[in-house]
Amino acid sequence: MVKVALTTILILINTFNICLAQTSPYRVRAIDVISIPVAGGLSLLGLKELRAKPRLDSAYVVTLSPADVNAFDRGATRRDYNNAGVFSDAALYTSIAIPFLTLLDKNIRHDGLKIVTLYLETMGAMGVIYTWGVSQTRRKRPYVYNAEVEMEKRTGKGALNSFFAGHPAAAAASTFFAAKVLHDYYPDMKNEWIIWTVASIPPALVGYFRYQNGQHFPTDIIAGLPIGVALGILIPEIHKKKKDSNISIIPTYINQTGIVALTYKF
């Protein structure tokens, strides 16, 4: 079994060494391939922590009211539009698929293996940050304060996962990754603002529908979106072929905590 694993790794490294010889704005190394399953493992550990959160007690929940929430976020406690959940999922899945559409371009498709690797690396980092970040918070979702929502839902799993908004963050990471790739392959394109504007629409829709579904407060969404945007832009950027690029990003596991390490060599 060990021999099979080592052989597989050697084949992957060799494949990527061949790819590095091709013209591309990006440089992908073996460590990038390895970081993908590492991020996946850390995300699973983070998910375990996320699911280990205690449930809310019904006796406590009945004492809650929208008045307990700050004025800016309070409107979310009156939202429970069930169909909004379907719409938000549709917008999220569409966002996740968008980066693969860049492969329709001949030049980008030529580096398809690199692009897919960078995208998986981006979403892997997103998974680590979300699962470990949200697992450490205890903010109640807006619907917990809504007396018209059934008690089973108000006290159920996930009721304490409001901060930060993961769906909008993941959508932003996907669409801005696609926009960044297009920018790096065609830095002189005209009306580039259109690409970035289009990239912002799906995450905004996901955030809007999550709000309408009573899943997140506006501040949850405001916090989540920049995280996704940053990852979508940052990871392709640090893999660009530059002179003496000293930046690296690696998911790791320290003291039973999953983190994403960003390092810079001076």
CA distance 110 to 130: 32
β-sheet bridge partners, residue 251: 260
Give the residue among 179, 252, 172, 235 at the shortest CA–CA distance from 28: 235
Q: Are 262 and 247 in contact (CB under 8 A)?
A: yes
- Number of Cβ atoms within 10 Å of the Cβ of 99: 26
pLDDT reported for residue 241: 86
Q: Which amino acid is at 181?
A: V
For residue 78, give both structure tokens: 């009156």
* Per-residue pLDDT band at 17 (split at 50, 70, 90): very low
pLDDT digits (tens, 9 = 90+) for 21-60: 446 899 999 999 999 999 999 999 999 999 999 999 999 9
> For the segment 56-86, what is each residue's pLDDT rounded down to a tens digit?
999 999 999 999 999 999 999 998 787 899 9
The encoded tokens of residue 183 equal 């920018």
∠ Cα 247 251 254 (to 5°): 115
